Amino acid sequence: MKLLVGLGNPGRGYEGTRHNVGFDVLEILSRRAGSPVRRSRFQGETVQTTLRGCPVLLLWPLTWMNLSGTSVLAARDFYKIDDGDILVICDDFQLPTDTIRLRSSGSAGGQNGLSDVLSRLGGTAVPRLRVGVGPMPAGWKSADFVLGKFAKSEREAIDCLLERAADAAEEWAALGIQAAMNRYN
């Protein structure tokens, strides 16, 4: 089984914000899988389904972004999933909004939710899919920017980007990180 984790913050006030694109990508994947019933588990919500014939667990941690690792660790340990079979989907304000970037490992790059996941799992060899939500305008504080909602003029481009990110996540689940990186980076 593969574990796909979308990072975000719980609650209606955070819906549609840049910081919640990880949740948004999981919503698309869940819809594509026929919108299976969610279960409350691992301090989050889960959907167990298949993507392109591969069994997956979709996980929306409800621990707040910066504490996401608690939820991910619980799911990983329960299902005994290797770190290489976890894909963390998160926002990146340093990437432009037309860009997604897959990596098999590395630093958190300033993304606090990803940092907490890596810290709690005990390593950096965790695949991640960064969804560009930038660039951040000059003079903005990063927290204000990522917690802001997309402008109406950005919505169509963002919706296309989220669909593309969902495609990349499916490719990762079915064919692995290298195939997904080759096609989507």
From the candidates 2, 5, 17, 19, which is the catalytic residue?
Answer: 19
CA–CA dist 93, 64 (Å, integer) = 18
Residues in the chain, overall count: 185
Closest CA to 147 of 177, 113, 171: 113
Phi, psi (5° rounding) for residue 48? -100, 125
Neighbours of 183 (CB within 10 A): 13
* Partners of residue 90 on adjacent β-strands: 130
- Residue 35, Cβ density class (10 Å: 0-12 exposed, 13-18 middle, ≥19 buried): exposed
* Partners of residue 168 on adjacent β-strands: none
The answer to whether residue 141 is catalytic is: no
Q: Would you please indicate which residues are annotated as catalytic (active-site) residues?
A: 19
